Every structure is written in structure tokens, then in C-alpha cells.
Amino acid sequence: APCAYFLDLAAFPTFYPVKQTEVEAAADWETNPGAWCQDAGFVSCGPYILESWVHEESMVYVKNPNWYDADNVTIERIEFMLSSDDTAIFAAYNAGDLDFIDTVPTDEIKNLKDNPEFHIIDNLGTYYVCFNVKSDLFAGKTAEQANAMRLAFSELVDRQYIIDTVGQCEQEIATSFIPAGMADGNGGIFKDAAGWDYPVDDGYYGTEVDVDGAIALLKEAGYEFDDNGMLSASNPIAFEYLTNDTSGHVAIAECIQQDLAAVGITMTIRSIDWATFLQERKAGNYDIARNGWLADFNDPINMLEMWETSSGNNDCQFGR
């Protein structure tokens, strides 16, 4: 059948052509497909060539004179600062060391709203937390009880507060994993189609805080509460939340921590650098972790195929 998103795929970096002899010249190319391009100087076919690369610090690109449309490439050199520290990035921008940045510290957003250099750009994606289904947090629970726990945690989180105080950039509350605005492959919007929310009814993913509902779900999972609506000391819930150490992600973690504490759930935040964070999450070394997915191409399958057991993005450890 025709692939509605084929042209999007053709523009996706994964499908860019590479020189076979360059790839296979790397010693471990069969087990590490990216081994051939880990240092500057590799052969490429775009408008720029990677001239230098100091890992986790900087990259320098220069104009490729052999590119087919090189005459229309007007910028001769591009220097990138590589950092996950949004405070340092913002400081470099203000000092004139950077001309363009795509992240700012959370506590600066409000002050930047009226700055003509500050632009809010829509993204097609979803920010979420993922549960490690193999975590000891769910040990001894039936599938139904574990599901009730996850739903209870969800009902305790004040999403609008996170948007208003942390995001501050007109984000929308997610009512499904498929983001608003995603195409349906037939020229329309996926969420406008009848039955888009199958196999659950519209409204299954609530947008309002429901403490009483959360307590009822946790009771279904076998937990007891005192007269004040707090978890009984005889059956505590405590877990670790994994996030990378960028200010916005840590601030969201703190909001969730506060929301869960409202019924006596203890959440410890583990904040680590980006590279280690990715490794730990992929390996399943966490209970609950921050996550997010920006669509590679405009079709729901890009959001849904990651939930297969064999997916390289199966951070929830389904079927493992």
C-alpha cells in the first residue's frame, strides 16, 4: 500500500545517503553502525563538512565546496556549543558568544516573553513520564493493581500547574500519546477522526487532578489510608524518579514530587547528566523516568511503534 509519510521519511537523516566504503572502513562497523562518523573529517554529502569535534564541548562545520548548490550557501562557517547546561548556554548568548540558542533556563522565560529575540516554536511531540514495568515498585502486584497504581499517580499530577509555572510556552495538556495536530495520513488531523482514541473512550486520560480518585485506585492496588487521606505507615510507597539535570526537567520532577506527597507517596529525584541519563533509562535502571518524544515524521506510527518489545526505544521494558 502507498506510504502516506514517504516524503517525510526521505527528508529524515536516517535515510540520507552515506559512502559505503567509509562506513565499512571502521573496525567495528557491523556492531556499531555509527563508528565511521565519531570523529571530524568523515565523508558527507550535505552543504557543510564537520571540520572539528570536541566531544561534549563543540563542533565546527565549514562550507562544503563540492555540494551541488554551494553557490547559494552564504554562511561559510558554523560553530556549535555542545552543552546540557541551559544556564551556561544562556550566559554565552548574552555575552555574544552564541548567535542562536534553543533553550533557556526556566526561571528566565517569564522575563523573556516581551523580548523580540525570544520566539516560541511549536513542536509535534509529547512530554511524559515512563514507568519501568520491571521495577520493584510493582513487585507482588497483579497487572490490574500495577495499572491502578500508574493511573493513580497520573491523577495526582497537576499538569496545568506545570505548564503555567515551568513550561510557560503555551503547551497543551496531553490527552493521549499522539500529540495534537498530528496528521492522519489522509490529509486530515488524526485526533479529528472518529475512533482516534480506540481502544479507550474519549476522556480516559483525565486532565484534572483527582485526589479522591487516586486514593480509590491505590486502595484497589492494596494500599491502606488513614482518616486524613494519607498512606498508612504500614504500606508506604517510595520510589526514585530519574531525570537529566537541565533546569526545566528538574523543576517538573519537583512539581510531581510535591503532587504525590499530597497522599504520602515518597519520590526521590535522581538528576544526572544527559549521556548517563540516556544509558540508565534505556538499561531500565530506574523506577519512573522523565521522557519525551518529538515526531521524526508526521504520522501516528512514529509515536506508536516505539511501544513494541523489540523497539530500541522500549524504555518501559515491555516484554523484557
pLDDT of residue 202: 59
Predicted model pTM: 0.87
Give per-residue pLDDT as tens, 186-244. Answer: 889 988 887 777 666 656 677 899 999 999 999 999 999 999 999 999 999 999 999 99
All domains in the chain, ordered by first residue: 13-104 (3.40.190.10), 125-307 (3.10.105.10)
Distance set, CA 102 to CA 81, 84, 154, 166, 249 (Å)? 11, 11, 29, 16, 15
pLDDT value at residue 242: 99
In the chain, the amino acid numbered 70 is A
Residues of the chain whose pLDDT is less than 50?
none
Query: Are the CB atoms for 189 and 124 separated by under 8 Å?
Result: no
- Identify the pLDDT of residue 198: 67
> Is 43:22 a contact under the CB 8 Å cutoff?
yes
Peptide bond into 199 cis (omega under 30): yes
Q: What is the pLDDT of residue 124?
A: 94
